[in-house]
């Protein structure tokens, strides 16, 4: 029962964060599409955990904080908000990079997970 309550609280908190971030159309009116391609890595025998593509359109929330996928990670994740905001400010169309999860746990080592990302931004025609 406690796990279910914590899960519901987590879902509600995540929903509130998305609303607070605003819509892509409000935050970045010049943008028509944002695509984030990520490869998740973990410190393990098989380091590639997942390959994922996320699409953001003007009608979606401008919430670019991606959860860490490693079980047991607390307060971790990958916040791409500043990367995307800087790209749009400089009108860049593409950016690649790497982020390391700063989450913690009693059983996880620092740097337990990371992502390689490739972000593509399409702009509205002028």
pLDDT of residue 89: 97
In a domain, 34, yes or no: yes
For 82, half-sphere exposure in the C-beta direction (CA atoms, 13 angstrom radius) is 4
Domain range for 28: 23-123
pTM (two decimals): 0.87
Beta strands in the chain (DSSP E): 31-42, 48-56, 65-66, 78-79, 94-100, 113-123
Q: Is residue 108 one of the residues assigned to a domain?
A: yes
Domain for residue 50, yes or no?
yes
Series of mean pLDDT values for 10-residue runs along the chain (126 residues): 63 91 97 97 88 97 92 88 97 97 79 94 90
pLDDT at 4: 53
For the beta carbon of residue 104, count every other beta carbon within 10 angstroms. Answer: 15
Q: What is the tally of structural domains in the chain? A: 1
Is there a domain that residue 17 lies in? no
């Amino acid at each position: 029962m406690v796990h279910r309550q914590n899960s519901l609280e987590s879902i509600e908190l995540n929903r509130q964060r998305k609303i607070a971030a605003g819509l892509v159309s409000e935050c970045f009116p010049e943008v028509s599409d944002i695509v984030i391609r990520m490869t998740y890595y973990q410190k393990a025998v098989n380091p590639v955990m997942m390959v994922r593509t996320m699409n953001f359109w003007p009608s979606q929330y401008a919430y670019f904080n991606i959860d860490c996928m490693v079980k047991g990670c607390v307060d971790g994740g990958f916040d791409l908000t500043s990367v995307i905001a800087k790209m749009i400010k400089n009108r860049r169309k593409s950016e690649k990079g790497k982020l390391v999860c700063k989450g913690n746990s009693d059983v996880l080592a620092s740097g337990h997970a990371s992502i390689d990302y490739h972000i593509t931004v399409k702009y509205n025609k002028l």
